[in-house]
Chains A and B, each alone.
Chain A
């Protein structure tokens, strides 16, 4: 598989497995780093495929943002008085 598709797969995988405990934390670290690495490499070469890696990077960062918002919501729910 070509590297830009690998970066995209990392993003889609992290989005698909966001509900799996522990795996989601591992992917939240690994997927953005890998997608970033591939994206910067392709950008340096000025490849036409850099956009695909960028999509993977956005997906991976979106998963991280979702985890952060989920954590904040959980904390807010604990402080709430019903």
Chain B
């Protein structure tokens, strides 16, 4: 598959694309890392977030990534870190599209673009669609890359999301309890 076919295939034939990624991950790892980084930085640029918020978001995202990487091993899956990074980066393509759209909104409407009538609702709906599509890509990716069946990949993804939310919630609670 060519890289352009992989990008369109993530929307049109995700099962085949993820099986290709599981076999030939070295070919797509650079593309995946680029997608991952641009989706992170474009999103934070569009919201003009201060460094502290971006840093907190980065920690939260890394906690989610850690659990999504780790939990499928307990379900009997096997993979390499590079293969996982390729899968995870490519699965962020829907987020990349939404964050690039929000950068366009930022350029057109200015700093408070999300306060514009209708734009907020539109970006919210698009964000939820990208969130669901990201989940679908991750589940199919876990199935192909970790060589699990569909039931186990769905359960491992759900468990990973719950464990990540727990970790973030408990850490944040402890941070609030500390005397500073």
Contacts and interface: CB of A to CB of B under 8 A. Distances in A.
Q: Does B associate with A?
A: yes
Interface of A: 5, 8, 11-12, 15, 48-49, 51-52, 54-55, 58-59, 62-63, 65-66, 69-70, 72-73, 76
Contacts, number: 56
A73 B170 contact: no
B41 interface: no
B67 to A, nearest CB: 10
B55 interface: no
B81 interface: no
Interface of B: 71, 73-76, 152, 155-156, 158-159, 162-163, 166-167, 169-170, 173-174, 176-177
A11 B166 contact: no
What is the interface of chain A mostly: helix, strand, loop, or mixed?
helix
A73 B173 contact: yes
B177 A12 contact: no
B55 to A, nearest CB: 22
Contact of B76 (A51, A58, A62, A76): A51
Contacts of A58: 163
B122 to A, nearest CB: 31
B163 A59 contact: yes
B178 to A, nearest CB: 10
